[in-house]
Structure 1
C-alpha cells in the first residue's frame, strides 16, 4: 500500500487487494470514479470494487488465488488437447470424425488436427 512520508495514500497499481463483497483477490489497476478497479490474478475481466470494502490481501489469499488461476489455465489447455466428440446423428459431425480417423490411420497429424479444429468450429456453430 502506498505511503508518502508516513502518510497513507491508498493502494498503488499492482497491489493485491481482497474484495470483501466479491470475496476474491484482485490486482489494483487504478480508480474509475469512486471505484477501485481490480483485475483477477492470472488475467481476466476487471471489476469495480467499493474502496471502503477492500483490504490488502493476505499472503495465503494471494497464494490461493494464484494457484486457482494456474489450475484454471491448465484445465482450459487440457480441454483443447482432448479431441472433440461428434454429436450422434449429425451427418457433418460423422463426416469430420471419419476424416479425422482416416488422418490418424495415415499418421497425418496435421490433417487430424485440422479435422479436430473443423469439428470444434462446427459444434460451436451448430451444436452450442
Structure 2
C-alpha cells in the first residue's frame, strides 16, 4: 500500500489474516483495521494490505449482514418477494453500485455473487429506504 495509506473506512485485504477489514487509521507503524460490520480492531503491517477486490467487498458485506441477522440485530418484517431481484431506488449511488455488482456477476455467470448482490440490495433498501 502507499505510505500515506487508504482513506478511513476503505475496505482492504489483510494478506496475513486472510480477511477483509475496514481501515480505521494508523497507530504508530501499524494500520488499524476492524471487521466489516464492526467488531474488535486489529493491527496490520501496511505492507501486508491491498485494496479489497469487488468480490471480496461483496463477500465481506454479505457475511456482515448474515452475522447481524443471526444475532437478531435487525427487526423482522414481512418476507420480501424473493422470486424477483430487488428494484433499486433511482439516482441513488449505493443502489447503482449494487446493481452494477449484480450485472457484472450475471455477465460472469456467477450466480452466487449475483445472489449476494441481491441480498445486499434488499438489506440496503430495508435499512436506507424503508
TM-score category (smaller protein): 0.5 to 0.7
CA distance in 2, matches of 1:44, 1:9: 24
Structure 2 unaligned spans of 5+: 74-130
CA distance in 2, matches of 1:9, 1:54: 12
Figure out how many residues of one structure are paired with residues of the other and give that number. 74
CA distance in 2, matches of 1:10, 1:44: 21
Larger radius of gyration: 1
Kept in 1, the 8 Å contact 2:37–2:65? The answer is: yes
Residue 25 of structure 1 corresponds to 20
Root mean square deviation of aligned Cα: 2.2
Give every structure 1 segment of 4 or more consecutive aligned residues whose post-TM-superposition deviation is greater than 3 Å: none
Q: Write 1 or 2 for the structure with the bigger share of helix.
A: 1
CA distance in 2, matches of 1:58, 1:74: 24
Structure 1 unaligned spans of 5+: 3-7, 79-128
> Normalized against structure 2, the TM-score is what?
0.52
Q: Write 1 or 2 for the structure with the bigger share of strand.
A: 1
